[in-house]
Amino acid sequence: MKNVYIIGGGPAGVSAALYAKRGGLETHLIYMKKSSLGMAHQIDNYYGAPGVTGQELYERGLKQAADLGVDMIEEEVLGISFEEKFTITTAENRYECDYLILATGAFRNRPAIKGIREFEGKGVSYCAVCDGFFYRKKKVAVLGNATYAAHEAEYLSRIAEKVYVLTNGKAPEDEALKNFEVIEKKIASIEGEVKIAKAVFEDGEELALDGMFVALGSAGSVELARKMGILVDASNKIVVNENRETNIPGVYAAGDAVDGIMQVNKAVYDGMLAAQDIIRKQKGS
């Protein structure tokens, strides 16, 4: 039996897991406890659950999937690769799968630092695998303080001349960060002319840079998609067809990471479409 791994425990991911499991697929759900759904104080427009809080709905969904027998994996996904099968790398393990559904939402970790937005595509990147090649023998920084930042820094260390880790005032949270020069000072701005040239700290000190890779928090659907060569449009949404399949066969995206209204109802619908398409393909194989 072919298996499916779903990344994300929100409405899109849980909906996909419920349909996939009931459709006879070996179903695994990788998620982290925090979710943007949990930020919703009250939801009044979801069928059958008026007045429910986002956190309550999130927890109910995870319990429903677990009660159905979905394999629940609470780990942080760092990257995805493909050889004969898709390989998911987490902070603790590696998993192989035949089908993959990205459903971690649309949250993009853009910090409120002057110059970040202006230099996106001009030295500021959100994907080391995608853009690291352009910084061979150059000086780069990874912006972040946790496991995802350590993973990106390790990748860049094989390419760049020097890799700094800038935590922007936060304490490092991953032991692997000690392998790099970590600067914990708050950043006032990112500056340059045509391209990024330096980071300026609040104490006035400057750090000359050729590039900066933003790796705050955990990798979201769009970040994971970019690493795989999946098409992402100008509005930073993953490009999918009517069944929510990406340009890479066997890889789907659902929920806020794809185009459309950002609502729980639509996310549930997306997850169902993705799972149903995989079930159809499984039955036809």
Q: What is the CATH number of the domain that holds 142?
A: 3.50.50.60
Tens of pLDDT along 242-283? 999 999 999 999 998 898 888 899 999 999 999 999 999 987
Residue count of the chain:
285
Of 157, 180, 214, the position where a domain reaches its end is: 214
- Which secondary-structure segment (H or E) carries 86? strand 86-90
Return the pLDDT at 3: 94
44 in any annotated domain: yes
| Radius of gyration of the chain from its Cα atoms, rounded to whole angstroms | 20
CA distance 10 to 56: 11
Contacts for 261 with CB less than 8 Å, ≥ 6 apart = none
117 in any annotated domain: no
**Residue 193 domain boundaries:** 124-214
Return the pLDDT at 106: 65
One domain, residues 191 and 169: yes
Of 214, 247, 269, the position where a domain reaches its end is: 214
Of 165, 180, 214, the position where a domain reaches its end is: 214
Return the pLDDT at 107: 56
Return the pLDDT at 169: 94
One domain, residues 209 and 247: no
CA distance 142 to 151: 10
Nearest alpha carbon to residue 103 among 28, 39, 177, 156: 28
Tens of pLDDT along 211-230? 999 988 777 888 888 888 89
Number of domains the chain contains:
2
CA distance readout (Å), 62 to 13, 52, 255: 9, 15, 16
One domain, residues 76 and 196: no
One domain, residues 181 and 163: yes
Q: Which residues of the chain fall short of a pLDDT of 70? A: 36, 39, 41, 106-109, 285
The reported pTM is 0.80
